[in-house]
Amino acid sequence: AGTTVGMSSGQGGKIAEPFAYAKLATRGDALPPFYITSEYVMERDHSGNPRRIEVTLGRSPPQGQEGAGAFRANFHIGQKMKISKMHASLYWNSDDEKFYIKSICKNAVKVDGVIYPGSPDGNSGKPAPLQRQSKIEIADGVPIYFLLPLSMNC
């Protein structure tokens, strides 16, 4: 069996749904922690294991505009104008059994010191593989750490 991110029993069966598949956190809780839970599972395989998990990161709405539709990212990471409203997509690739993040705007995403450029159309940013405790930096904002449960081996 390959590396499973707590998503299958390795026998083709489904295991119990974890509280969270991953967590995004900052040092000193500069931003509230964000848990990637079953709410973000977009597709499952025939055994019920996640095939696609996806969350978006983007700019926080201005004070008083928290319900504004344009600010529809799942995880709001700051109010700097360099942060796009929909800046990055963090997703699970079941073929590779890894999480990745990629820019979905013109601006780059930095992971573990490496810059992964965005693209003019916002669709062809280069994916960055994420590992336990990867450091994600977006638009000179607060560094965000990608955390996995101890039982996960990405």
Specify the pLDDT at position 10.
42
In this prediction, residue 8 carries a pLDDT of: 39
pTM above 0.75, yes or no: yes
Question: What integer best gives the mean pLDDT of the chain?
Answer: 82
What is the token pair recorded at 72? 């529809």
Say yes or no to pLDDT of 57 above 60.
yes
Question: Residue 124 pLDDT more than 90?
Answer: no
Between 48 and 7, whose confidence is greater?
Answer: 48
The DSSP string of the chain is: -----SS--SSS---PPPS-SEEEE-GGGSS--EEE-GGGEEEE-TTS-EEEEEEEEEPPPPTT-TT-TT---SEE----TTS-TT-EEEEEETTTTEEEEEESSSS-EEETTEEE---TTSS-PPPEEE-TTEEEE-TT---EEEE--TT---
Give me the pLDDT at residue 6, please: 44
Query: Residue 88 above 80 pLDDT?
Result: yes
pLDDT of residue 129: 96
Predicted local confidence at residue 41, as pLDDT: 92
How far apart are the C-alpha atoms of 61 and 70, rounded to whole Å? Answer: 8
